[in-house]
């Protein structure tokens, strides 16, 4: 409607669609490197485009990676080897399809849209494991196993925390969820937010849970064998997953576009809230050491699960008390 | 729980502090008033006693004959560790440290030339504390 396009095409092309994903990739990678550097009293990327604070560095890296040699190992199933990163990248972007970022700005509207987003989000590790399998390498194999174990740790708390919010709002409709938030979800049910956020960090393998691609242990885990474009696709997929996750978080817990009813202002509000949710996730890299897989599993199946169950109980109680 | 809040607080505090990285060559580190820098030789004071050569732990100093018939020290800067033993050993005080610490050359051949030892030839091309 702004540039004469129907709003779903606009959503698919600009925000939260393709331009949003690519923009998030560039900005998040730059911001991560910059923030972590500043926490460690360094400058971070600087020499490419000094006046912009090295903002063009990720783009320079992308160009460099595109032009580096693409190696397809002979002992692998070469079709799957080349195809799975692409599948993974696209699959990571699927949850975005169901999330509304402004009134009318959703790629595909469904009355259970946000539930579908969570379900597609939780289906992704299958592609990652498939990718690791297709690479036929011991490090990718170990990485895949760790990914499966980690998925087992965060899956249930994530589902429960989102379920808590659905109970509270009584709907999974991407529009209705935002309209029902008279008070932001994070204030209504902080337990659910905490469980969701930790699960999100686990799901996107942010730092204390950066176990599948632990560099000193398994090179890059499931991404080990890839170079060039395939590396961008496979490794970028993780950031796409983060994008989908924080979008969902912004809509579920931070009231989405709530102060504004306008398309443009609403979208900008969601962008701001997405950034607000992303920055602590990026900072995690500078703050935490890495858990062992058993520690992460213990956390996932004890404290995190208890937190998520408590969140559901709190939601049920609030619903029964008629707060929401 | 409190531990995690503290961790985040430290990260946020660090985030707004100035980086410690020195962006050389745009920025220079301050080494204080008495750095053991590039060593020069005042030929008018040199008595060619070769004590500096004897004391050098890195065997960086070699003597060479010059046009005036005397032998003068020259330092192989690939070997010199800037320990300052030669300066301390020099009985007449003809050897001395300059403030120049960051010693780099355009070509590998320059660093062995004994002429580098004359005080006048040691001047910084950029800044005032290095020989770039």
Q: Which residues of A touch B7 (CB under 8 A)?
A: 287-288
Chain A, 27 to 86: residues with Cβ < 8 Å from chain B are 35, 37-43, 46
Higher pLDDT pick, A24 / A7: A24
Tell me the shortest Cα–Cα distance from A71 to chain B, in angstroms: 37
Largest CA distance in chain A: 63
| Pairs across A and B, CB distance < 8 A | 32
Specify whether the CB–CB gap between B90 and B51 falls below 8 A: yes
Peptide bond into A16 cis (omega under 30): yes
State the best of B4, B19, B25 to mutate against chain A, taking most chain A CBs within 10 Å: B19
DSSP β-bridge partners for residue B103: B131
Pairing of strands B102-103, B130-131: parallel
Q: Which residues of B touch A287 (CB under 8 A)?
A: 7-8, 10-11
A193 falls in which pLDDT band (50, 70, 90)? very high
Quick count: other Cβ atoms within 10 Å of Cβ A301?
14
Tell me the CATH number of domain B31-116, given options 3.40.50.720, 3.30.70.890, 3.40.190.10, 3.30.70.3270: 3.30.70.3270
CA–CA separation, A48 vs A65, rounded Å? 16
* ipTM surpasses cut 0.85: no
Token look-up 């910084």 returns B124
pLDDT digits (tens, 9 = 90+) for A135-169: 888 888 888 899 899 998 899 999 999 999 999 88
Cβ contact, residue pair A283, B7, below 8 Å: no
pLDDT of amino acid A219: 84
Tell me the shortest Cα–Cα distance from A299 to chain B, in angstroms: 13
| Percent of chain B surpassing pLDDT 70 | 76
Cβ contact, residue pair B8, A288, below 8 Å: no
Q: In Å, how far are A68, B60, B96, B104 from B78, measured between CA atoms? A: 37, 8, 19, 11
**Cα separation of the two ends of chain B:** 52
CA–CA separation, A33 vs A24, rounded Å? 14
CA–CA separation, B6 vs A217, rounded Å? 28
Cβ contact, residue pair A37, B15, below 8 Å: no
A49 falls in which pLDDT band (50, 70, 90)? confident
Q: Give the number of C-alpha atoms closer than 13 A to the C-alpha of residue A278, restricted to the C-beta side.
A: 24
Higher pLDDT pick, B38 / A241: A241
Tell me the shortest Cα–Cα distance from B18 to chain A, in angstroms: 7
Q: Is the Cβ of A190 closer than 8 Å to some Cβ of chain B?
A: no
Specify whether the CB–CB gap between A176 and A207 falls below 8 A: no
pLDDT of amino acid B129: 42
CA–CA separation, A185 vs A172, rounded Å? 14
The rounded mean pLDDT for chain A is: 87
pLDDT digits (tens, 9 = 90+) for A61-93: 889 999 998 888 888 888 888 888 898 899 888
State the best of B4, B15, B25, B26 to mutate against chain A, taking most chain A CBs within 10 Å: B15
A195 falls in which pLDDT band (50, 70, 90)? very high
Q: pTM for the complete prediction?
A: 0.80
pLDDT of amino acid B85: 93
Please enumerate residues of B whose Cβ is less than 8 A from a Cβ of A: 7-8, 10-11, 14-15, 17-21, 23
Handedness of CA B22, B24, B28, B34 (dihedral sign): positive
Nearest CA in chain A to B23: A43
Q: Is the Cβ of A288 closer than 8 Å to some Cβ of chain B?
A: yes
pLDDT of amino acid A243: 93
Q: Is B13 left (phi over 0), alpha (psi -120 to 50) or beta?
A: alpha
Token look-up 């190992």 returns A73
Tell me the shortest Cα–Cα distance from B16 to chain A, in angstroms: 8
Higher pLDDT pick, A213 / B29: A213
Higher pLDDT pick, A258 / B46: B46
Cβ contact, residue pair A39, B20, below 8 Å: no
**Cα separation of the two ends of chain A:** 33
Tell me the shortest Cα–Cα distance from B5 to chain A, in angstroms: 11
Q: What is the SS3 assignment for chain A?
A: CCCCCCHHHHHHHCCCCHHHHHHHHHHHHHHHHHHHHHHCCCCCCCCCCHHHCCCCHHHHHHHHHHHCCCCCCCCCCHHHHHHHHHHHHHHHHHHHHCCCCECCECCCCCCCHHHHHHHHHHHHHHHHHHHHHHHCCHHHHHHHHHHHHHHHHHHHHHHHHHHHHHHHHCCCCHHHHHHCCCCCHHHHCHHHHHHHHHHHHHHCCCHHHCCCCCHHHHCCHHHCCCCHHHHHHHHHHHHHHHHHHHHHHHHHHCCCCCCCCCHHHHHHHHHHHHHHHHHHHHHHHHHCCCCCHHHHHHHHHHHHHHHHHHHHHHHHHHHHHCCC
pLDDT digits (tens, 9 = 90+) for B56-71: 999 888 888 888 888 8
Cβ contact, residue pair B15, A42, below 8 Å: no
A249 falls in which pLDDT band (50, 70, 90)? very high
Cβ contact, residue pair B20, A42, below 8 Å: yes
pLDDT of amino acid B126: 45
Q: What b/e readout covers A112-137, taking b as 16+ CB neighbours within 10 angstroms?
A: ebbbbbbebbbebbebbbbbbbbbeb
Nearest CA in chain A to B6: A287
pLDDT of amino acid B120: 55
A228 falls in which pLDDT band (50, 70, 90)? confident
Token look-up 């709002």 returns A169
The first and second tokens of residue B31, run together, are 């080494």
B92 falls in which pLDDT band (50, 70, 90)? very high
Higher pLDDT pick, A25 / B125: A25
Domain borders along chain B are 31-116
Tell me the shortest Cα–Cα distance from A69 to chain B, in angstroms: 33
Cβ contact, residue pair B19, A39, below 8 Å: no
Of B8, B14, B21, the CB nearest to A43: B21
Q: What contacts B39, CB < 8 A, 6 or more positions away?
A: B75, B80, B82, B84, B86, B87, B95, B96, B97, B98, B117
Of A37, A43, A287, the CB nearest to B8: A287
Token look-up 């606009």 returns A10
Q: Residue B33: pLDDT above 70?
A: yes
CA–CA separation, A293 vs A297, rounded Å? 6
């Amino acid at each position: 409607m702004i540039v004469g396009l129907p709003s779903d095409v606009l959503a698919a092309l600009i925000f939260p669609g393709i331009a949003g994903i690519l923009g998030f990739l560039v900005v998040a990678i730059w911001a991560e490197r910059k923030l972590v550097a500043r926490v460690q009293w360094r400058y971070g990327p600087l020499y490419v485009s000094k006046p912009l604070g090295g903002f063009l560095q990720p783009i320079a890296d992308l160009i460099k990676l595109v032009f580096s040699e693409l190696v397809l190992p002979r002992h692998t199933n070469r079709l799957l080897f080349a195809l799975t990163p692409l599948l993974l990248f696209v699959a990571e972007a699927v949850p975005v399809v169901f999330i509304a970022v402004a009134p009318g700005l959703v790629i595909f509207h469904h009355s259970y849209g946000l539930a579908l987003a969570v379900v597609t989000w939780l289906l992704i590790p299958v592609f990652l494991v498939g990718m690791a399998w297709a690479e036929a390498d011991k490090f990718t194999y170990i990485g895949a196993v760790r990914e499966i174990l980690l998925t087992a740790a965060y899956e249930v708390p994530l589902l429960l925390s989102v379920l808590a919010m659905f109970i509270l709002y009584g709907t999974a409709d991407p529009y209705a969820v935002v309209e029902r938030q008279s008070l932001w979800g994070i204030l209504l049910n902080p337990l659910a937010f905490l469980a969701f956020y930790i699960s999100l960090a686990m799901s996107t393998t942010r730092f204390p849970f950066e176990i599948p691609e632990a560099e000193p242990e398994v090179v890059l885990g499931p991404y080990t064998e890839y170079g060039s474009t395939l590396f961008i696709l496979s490794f970028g997929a993780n950031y796409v997953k983060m994008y989908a996750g924080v979008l969902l978080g912004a809509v579920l817990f931070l009231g989405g576009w709530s102060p504004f009813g306008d398309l443009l202002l609403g979208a900008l509000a969601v962008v701001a809230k997405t950034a607000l949710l992303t920055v602590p996730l990026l900072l995690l890299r500078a703050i935490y050491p890495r858990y062992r897989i058993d520690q992460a599993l213990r956390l996932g199946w004890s404290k995190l699960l208890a937190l998520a169950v408590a969140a559901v109980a709190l939601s049920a109680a609030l619903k029964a008390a008629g707060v929401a | 729980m409190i531990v995690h809040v503290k961790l985040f607080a430290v990260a946020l505090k660090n985030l707004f502090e100035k980086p410690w990285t020195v962006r050389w060559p745009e920025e220079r580190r301050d080494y204080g008033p008495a750095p053991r820098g590039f060593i020069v030789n005042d030929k008018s004071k040199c008595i060619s006693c070769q004590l500096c050569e004897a004391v050098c732990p890195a065997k960086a100093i070699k003597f060479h004959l010059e046009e005036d018939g005397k032998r003068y020290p020259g330092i192989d800067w690939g070997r010199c560790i800037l320990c300052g033993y030669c300066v301390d050993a020099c009985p007449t005080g003809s050897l001395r440290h300059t403030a120049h610490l960051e010693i780099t050359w355009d070509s590998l051949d320059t660093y062995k030339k004994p002429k580098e030892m004359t005080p006048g030839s040691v001047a910084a091309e950029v800044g005032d504390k290095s020989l770039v």
